[in-house]
Amino acid sequence: MKLKKYNFKIVNSTNDLAIEIIKKTNDKFGIVIAEKQKKGRGQYGKKWTSFKGNLFASIFFPIEKVKLPLKDLTKINCFLIKKLLSNFYKGKITIKNPNDLLINNMKISGILQETVLKSKMTFIIVGIGINLVKSPIIKNYPTTNLLDLTGIKISAYNVTLKLAKIYEKFIPELTKFDVKNIYKT
């Protein structure tokens, strides 16, 4: 299974664009990638600060055959992003419920999941933000980035390639995925 890639310089929100693509095309599997977001969104309507050089992507695919609640899909998506980050950082990466990834108790990544219905088919949109080169300042919530942690500037393009491969391998296996002990990995 291949994700159709949609690359953009600047967008309002990769999730908003993914929803638009689902509604206006017949594409069922895709990844929307942007160099910058003007109106990136986080959970509970919070703003996602989008510094150029960080990763902003939204993956979408149908979930009508998946018999897992959205809460379990959130756990799975956190696990997949943890797996992605472990390619670049060898230390401990933790998941903070429901959708943040932390290194040294500092936020490095967040996920925003949304669903949309089109022609009786439910799609999930998994918005992923990863601090690669610069960290936002969030009151009472320390943040970090891979450049500060590793001393190596990692390109969003390289991370996106690995991200797409992880999801291309995973999506066909989604109905078989065991979420019972996911946070222990």
Residue 167: phi and psi, rounded to 5, are -70, -35
Residue written as token pair 């929307």:
32
- Tally of domains within the chain: 1
The overall pTM is greater than 0.85: yes
Q: Are 33 and 7 in contact (CB under 8 A)?
A: yes
CATH number at residue 69: 3.30.930.10
CA distance 117 to 22: 9
pLDDT tens-digit series, residues 142-159: 999 999 999 999 999 999
Residue range 25-41, pLDDT digits in tens:
999 999 999 999 987 77
What are the pLDDT digits (tens) for 42-87? 665 666 677 889 999 999 999 987 878 888 899 999 999 999 999 9
The residue segments making up the domain with residue 39 are: 4-184
Structure tokens at 174: 């989604």
Q: Which of 131-135, 159-163, 165-169, 176-180 has the lowest mean pLDDT?
A: 176-180
Whose tokens are 């390619």? That residue is 87
